[in-house]
Amino acid sequence: MKDGIAVFVKYDCPTCLMVVPVLEKIQKTVEMKVFVQDYPEKFPSLMVDDDRELADSYDYNIEIVPTIVRIENGAEIERSVGWERSSWERISQTKALGNALPSIRPGCGSLSVEVGIAERLAIKSGEVKFSSRKITLGSLEDDIELCFEKSWTDGLPVVPPTEERVYRMLKGTGRKGDEILGMMPPNNIACTVEKVAVNAVLAGCKAEYFPVVLGAVEAVLEPAFCLHGLIATTWFSGPMVIVNGKIRKTIGMNWKGNVLGQGNRANATIGRALQLTVRNVGGGKPREVDQSTFGSPLKFGFCFAEDESTPWTTLAEDRGFNRDKSTVTLFSADGPIGCVDQNSRDPDSLIKSIAGSLKIVNHVGLANASDAVVVIGPEHGRVFDEAGWTKEQAVEALHQATKMSEVSDLKMTTLAAKLDDSKARQSKSMINKFRKNGLTLIRAGGDAGLFSAIIPGWLMKGETGTEPITKEI
């Protein structure tokens, strides 16, 4: 339309029906097009344009109906949403409009912005173009069953990644879909933002979770994380995601009761999206490249947030980020080991309990084989807080309490000397169970229960080892 008035209405809108007499009056004196989104035949007194495909509503970016727009030389000059008499008189240059009507009345939502429709229109308009292969289903095919047949799942049902759903996921970030985040092991396939979005849809993520998923993927692609080795190991381990900062609250993550378990959509689907990306983009499938002897439930996805309401520094701060920044930290982790101590009321005693559980990580006779994360529960945390202990004090005390005889170190093989060897008992040469930066303490968990959780890891840094990686979201 080059010059004139464009009005957008739908029959299923009381305000649109209310202004029909106004439109009749304007149409007598002004060049006007009335675009009807649902039932054009319901407006017999008007000359209308059929906009049931919503292409015109999309082109004019209509969010509310009725909307009146003045156009001059093909350009929009002014618009008004809903019914507001003075604005409509000014835009249409017609006086005494709807004197019998209220002076103002809100409108209704445009069909063009409804969930599913908005995405379809954006795709149809060419606003977004996908590089992923499109699969067309037969009329009798079940889309979820197809995902199983194509081996896109982790053994549980997934959300079919339609174009509309992937587009909606991509709207959760300002990054371009064709941006390459890195080469995804083990097949070294270019991992794009779009491919991650596809797997985030499969996992059941909301679009607002997507920046966290992208941060997690970027972290595991860092060479120091050694993802290829982690995938191929025969050990139990997989990626563990810990989230810090304001985004935890924004997307509704859990850092309280059942923090390491099920029940929270953000925690569950972010971790799952990462694992599905590794599987579907990189080819890290069980009993193929993934040669884990036992595996672990964490391989479905392991993600949680830290409780930042305690006196201790947060994980993000420990790793060099300001407290107001949102971050994601990736560890190579095994399943959690519980540590219960319902008697200790002072830090020294509690340290001995936690250290006793830490000593069995990997094997009671192994030193410097892997790192460990200790999740201090709230009731155990209060023991440290009430005594004024800092996180640094607790970490150092745990290192001292987990020292072991150098002679008894089996050095990654249980074929060495017996653990009760007399030389081991007589040795005064002590070594750390964990390397200097190999113990990480964080706070999380439910209020009730004098428990903490120990999460062992995979091999520490070496030719084939791993390092924790933190990325700002």
Structure confidence by residue, pLDDT tens digits, 49-79: 999 999 999 999 999 999 999 999 999 999 9
Closest to 283 in 3D by CA, of 194, 201, 162, 191? 191
Mean pLDDT of the chain: 93
342 within some domain: yes
Tokens of 27: 């149409």
Angle, helix 117-124 to helix 163-170, in steps of 10 degrees: 90
Among the candidates 114, 129, 163, a domain finishes at 114
Residue 351 pLDDT > 80, yes or no?
yes
Residue 415 pLDDT > 50, yes or no?
no
28 within some domain: yes
185 lies in the same domain as 68: no
Among the candidates 114, 135, 168, a domain finishes at 114
Q: What is the pLDDT of residue 428?
A: 65
pTM here is: 0.87
104 lies in the same domain as 202: no
Residue 407 pLDDT > 80, yes or no?
no
129 within some domain: no
444 within some domain: yes
96 lies in the same domain as 180: no
Write the CATH number for 75.
3.40.30.10
130 within some domain: no
141 within some domain: no
164 lies in the same domain as 109: no
102 lies in the same domain as 15: yes
pLDDT per residue as tens digits for the range 196-254: 999 999 999 999 999 999 999 999 999 999 999 999 999 999 999 999 999 999 999 99
Residue 414 pLDDT > 50, yes or no?
no
Q: What is the count of structural domains for the chain?
A: 2
186 upstream amide cis, omega within 30 of 0: yes
Residue 462 pLDDT > 80, yes or no?
no
196 lies in the same domain as 94: no
87 lies in the same domain as 213: no
| Domain span including residue 62 | 4-114
33 - beta bridge partners?
A: 6
Can you give the chain as a three-state secondary structure string? CCCEEEEEECCCCHHHHHCHHHHHHHHHHCCEEEEECCCHHHCCCCCEEECCCCHHHHHCCCCEECEEEEEECCEEEEEEECEEHHHHHHHHCCCCCCCCCCCEECCEECHHHCCCHHHHHHHHCCCCCCCCCCCCCCCCCCHHHHHHHCCCCCCCCCCCCCHHHHHHHHCCCCCCCCCEEEEECCCCEEEEHHHHHHHHHHHCCCHHHHHHHHHHHHHHCCHHHCHHHHHHCCCCCEEEEEEECCHHHHCCCCCCCCCCCCCCHHHHHHHHHHHHHHHHCCCCCECCCECCCCCCHHHHCCEEECCCCCCCCCHHHHCCCCCCCCEEEEEEECCCEEEECCCCCCHHHHHHHHHHHHCCCCCCCCCCCEEEEEEECHHHHHHHHHCCCCHHHHHHHHHHHCCEECCCCCCCCCCCCCCCCHHHHHCCCEECCCCCCCEEEEECCCCCCCEEEEEEEEECCCCCCCCCEEEEC
Q: What is the pLDDT of residue 416?
A: 42
125 within some domain: no
